């Protein structure tokens, strides 16, 4: 039974996209995943509007102090098992905004992160590669949170 | 006892619940593939051969997820409404003749067309309740949009369903289906086209997918639903799409009846039924891909000012033609 659930989890990761103060560069690359050229629906990946529907949170941006609370709340609204992907240099470590007075230098200061995808912005191929690595880790590891 | 087992088999396995479930999953896969191809994409490709298991993966994943009930939600309604909506649609399905007779044997009675359409209305009302009970602004907007849109399309849909009923001279679905030596889509094409248009509104597909317009109201009435309850809401919508297609087949395309070449007629009827449903699903999905979403006020005024007069006209035309012209020709 758990084998079936894992198979289903691997084959249908629905993603939610959250911008925590990015310059929109990474967001354009995330949206490019859904276009005919990359078409991640091949792998069953669907962009959902509501955190209640999502399995994977794609976060971009260096998490401004104002956004941190919202980011945490959206993460808490997602049902278990849930995974977080930090997309872009800003989401990984703060990027060019590192040390700025109004940012928290990366998503992992607020919520646990499963996969980091560096780049400014990362190419869609890199994002797909990151999500594949995440899915491979799901095969063995337990989801975070619990 | 043997009769009882046969009854259980028909209701639960074929052509009952199991068949409807698997066929719905297949139609869902086909829709996603068509939509992807229309957008120059590939669509689900790696879940089973050509991605055919994608809907199963989605449903199993949703069922295995955490079940959240928001603190502000009406707990019982929130939990029950999606399941009730799903079961009402499946119940309505069991009155349609799938392989020559209805799923529940001898369940057809005079006027079951009206009864089945009432069941679908109740299912829509449960969809409204599920959104309303979630106590989320987006859920509320989605739910009220379901009802507002419903006010517009329900009367035209019933009026248009009366056209084949009038030509067949009966309100019983099996009699209407059996009376079509020439499909009513050819005898009354005006009602057929209008019925498909109105059905798009009933099924909440483009250009009428306002209740769950993603870019405006997140997930509409589904916004607060996750896990198993979301699985049931998605299933309700998918079964509704297949049910709508089945209703078109029964009313306008001659139901399950078609040429029988050899062997059991039931198998051929079943084959024709499935092929006709797939054709109708193809048409509705084509329309969905071609048209952009309308606004709620455009839909409502369009339904009352255009669709309702047109459906009354179509009924009048059907009555006139069926009474005076067809007896001269046939």
pLDDT of residue A146: 41
Q: Which two tokens stand for residue B25?
A: 């999953």
pLDDT of residue B108: 74
Closest residue to B226, CB basis, from A4, A39, A52 = A52
- Say if residue B209's pLDDT is above 50: yes
Best of A33, A53, A54, A57 to disrupt the B interface by mutation (most B CBs within 10 Å)? A53
Which tops the pLDDT comparison, B5 or B317?
Answer: B317
Strand partners, A14: A46
Pick among 3.40.50.12280, 3.40.50.720, 3.55.50.30, 3.40.47.10: CATH of A2-140: 3.40.50.12280
Total residue count of chain B as it appears in this document = 330
Cβ–Cβ contact B222 with A under 8 A: yes
The average pLDDT across B107-133 equals 86
B-chain residues near A40 (CB < 8 A): none
Which tops the pLDDT comparison, B144 or B215?
Answer: B144
The average pLDDT across B279-289 equals 89
Cβ–Cβ contact B41 with A under 8 A: yes
Residue with tokens 């994943």: B61
Q: What rounded mean pLDDT belongs to chain B?
A: 84
- State the smallest CA–CA distance between residue A78 and chain B in angstroms: 8
Cβ–Cβ contact A76 with B under 8 A: no
The average pLDDT across B56-73 equals 86
Please state which of the ranges B99-103, B130-134, B245-249 shows the lowest mean pLDDT: B99-103
The average pLDDT across B216-227 equals 78
Averaged in consecutive runs of 10 residues, what is the pLDDT profile of chain A (146 residues)? 80 88 88 87 86 89 89 89 89 87 87 89 89 81 50
* Cα B112 off chain centre by: 16
Residue with tokens 């619940």: B17
Q: How far is it, in rounded angstroms, from Cα A142 to Cα A130?
A: 18
Query: Which pLDDT tens digit goes with each residue over B19-32?
Result: 888 999 999 999 88
CA terminus-to-terminus distance, chain B: 47
Q: How far is it, in rounded angstroms, from Cα B204 to Cα B210?
A: 7
Strand partners, A115: A85
pLDDT of residue A145: 43
Closest residue to B65, CB basis, from A42, A49, A80 = A80
User: Helix, strand, or coil here: A42?
Assistant: helix
- State the smallest CA–CA distance between residue A50 and chain B in angstroms: 6
**Share above pLDDT 70 across residues of chain B, in percent, rounded to a whole number:** 97
pLDDT of residue A141: 56
Global confidence as pTM: 0.87
Among A68, A80, A65, CA closest to A18:
A68
CB contact under 8 A, B32 and A55: no
**Share above pLDDT 90 across residues of chain B, in percent, rounded to a whole number:** 5
Q: What radius of gyration do chain A's Cα atoms show?
A: 14
- Contact B179/B170 with Cβ under 8 angstroms? yes
Which tops the pLDDT comparison, B330 or A104?
Answer: A104
Closest residue to B218, CB basis, from A41, A42, A50 = A50
Cβ–Cβ contact A79 with B under 8 A: yes
Indicate the domain borders of chain A. Answer: 2-140
Cβ–Cβ contact A3 with B under 8 A: no
B-chain residues near A42 (CB < 8 A): 42-46, 51
pLDDT of residue B78: 87
Closest residue to B219, CB basis, from A5, A36, A53 = A53
Write the secondary structure of chain B as one string of H (helix), E (strand) and C (coil). Answer: CHHHHHHHHHHHCCCCHHHHHHHHHHHHHHHHHHHHHHCCCCCCCCCCHHHCCHHHHHHHHHHCCCCCCCCCCCHHHHHHHHHHHHHHHHHHHCCCECCCCECCCCCCCCCHHHHHHHHHHHHHHHHHHHHHHCCCHHHHHHHHHHHHHHHHHHHHHHHHHHHHHHHHCCCCHHHHHHCCCCCHHHHCHHHHHHHHHHHHHHCCCCCCCHHHCHHHHCCHHHCCCCHHHHHHHHHHHHHHHHHHHHHHHHHHCCCCCCCCCCCCHHHHHHHHHHHHHHHHHHHHHHHHHHCCCCCHHHHHHHHHHHHHHHHHHHHHHHHHHHHHHHHHHC
Cβ–Cβ contact A119 with B under 8 A: no
Phi-psi region of A63 (alpha: psi -120 to 50; beta: other; left: phi over 0): left
Q: Which residues contact B6 (CB under 8 A, 6 or more apart)?
A: none
Closest residue to B45, CB basis, from A42, A53, A77 = A42
- State the smallest CA–CA distance between residue A83 and chain B in angstroms: 13
ipTM of the complex: 0.83
Cβ–Cβ contact A38 with B under 8 A: no
Q: Which two tokens stand for residue A105?
A: 């230098």
- Say if residue B7's pLDDT is above 80: no
Phi and psi at residue B209, in whole multiples of 5°? Answer: -90, 40
Cβ–Cβ contact B147 with A under 8 A: no
pLDDT of residue B312: 92
Q: How far is CA A80 from CA A55, A76, A138, B80, B211, in A?
A: 8, 9, 13, 21, 27
A-chain residues near B45 (CB < 8 A): 42-43
Q: What radius of gyration do chain B's Cα atoms show?
A: 20
- Contact A61/A20 with Cβ under 8 angstroms? yes
Phi-psi region of B263 (alpha: psi -120 to 50; beta: other; left: phi over 0): left
Taking residue B323's Cβ as centre, other Cβ atoms within 10 Å add up to 11
CA terminus-to-terminus distance, chain A: 20
pLDDT of residue B12: 78
- State the smallest CA–CA distance between residue B8 and chain A in angstroms: 27
Query: Which pLDDT tens digit goes with each residue over B180-197?
Result: 878 888 888 888 999 988
Closest residue to B46, CB basis, from A9, A36, A42 = A42
Cβ–Cβ contact B229 with A under 8 A: no
Q: Name the pLDDT band for B211 (thresholds 50, 70, 90).
A: confident
């Amino acid at each position: 039974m758990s084998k079936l659930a894992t198979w289903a989890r691997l084959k249908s990761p629905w993603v939610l996209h959250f911008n925590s103060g990015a310059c929109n560069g990474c967001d354009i690359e995330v949206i490019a995943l859904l276009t005919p050229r990359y078409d991640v629906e091949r792998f069953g990946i669907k962009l959902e509007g509501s955190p209640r529907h999502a399995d994977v949170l794609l976060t971009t941006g260096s998490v401004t102090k104002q956004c941190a609370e919202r980011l945490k709340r959206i993460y808490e609204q997602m049902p278990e098992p849930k995974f977080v992907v930090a997309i872009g240099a800003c989401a990984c470590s703060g990027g060019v905004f590192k040390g700025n007075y109004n940012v928290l230098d990366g998503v992992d200061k607020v919520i646990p992160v499963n996969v980091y995808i560096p780049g400014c912005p990362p190419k869609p191929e890199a994002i797909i590669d990151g999500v594949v690595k995440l899915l491979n880790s799901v095969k063995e590891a337990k989801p975070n949170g619990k | 006892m043997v009769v009882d087992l046969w009854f259980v088999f028909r209701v639960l396995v074929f052509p009952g619940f199991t068949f409807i479930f698997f066929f719905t999953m297949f139609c869902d896969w086909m829709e996603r593939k068509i939509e992807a191809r229309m957008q120059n994409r590939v669509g689900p490709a790696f879940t089973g051969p050509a991605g055919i298991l994608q809907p199963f993966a989605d449903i199993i994943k949703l069922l295995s997820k955490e079940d959240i009930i928001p603190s502000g939600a009406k707990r019982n309604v929130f939990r029950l409404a999606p399941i009730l909506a799903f079961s009402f649609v499946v119940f309505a399905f069991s009155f349609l003749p799938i392989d020559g007779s209805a799923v529940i044997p001898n369940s057809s009675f005079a006027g079951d067309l009206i009864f089945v359409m009432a069941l679908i209305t109740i299912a829509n009302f449960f969809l409204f309740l599920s959104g309303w009970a979630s106590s989320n602004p987006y859920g509320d907007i989605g739910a009220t949009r379901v009802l507002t849109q419903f006010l517009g399309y329900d009367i035209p849909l019933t009026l248009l369903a009366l056209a084949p009923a009038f030509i067949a001279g009966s309100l019983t679905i099996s009699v209407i289906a059996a009376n079509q030596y020439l499909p009513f889509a050819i005898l009354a094409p005006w009602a057929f086209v209008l019925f498909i248009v109105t059905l798009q509104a009933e099924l909440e597909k483009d250009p009428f997918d306002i209740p769950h317009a993603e870019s405006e109201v997140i997930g509409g009435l589904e916004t607060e639903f996750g896990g198993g309850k979301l699985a049931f809401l998605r299933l309700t919508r998918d079964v509704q799409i297949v049910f709508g297609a089945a209703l078109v087949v029964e009313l306008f395309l001659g139901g399950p009846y078609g040429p029988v070449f050899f062997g059991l007629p039931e198998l051929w009827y079943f084959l024709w039924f499935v092929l006709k449903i797939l054709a109708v699903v193809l048409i509705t999905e084509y329309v969905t891909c071609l048209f952009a979403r309308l606004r709620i006020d455009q839909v409502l005024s369009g339904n009352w000012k255009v669709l309702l007069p047109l459906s009354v006209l179509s009924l009048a035309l059907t009555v006139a033609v069926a009474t005076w012209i067809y007896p001269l020709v046939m």
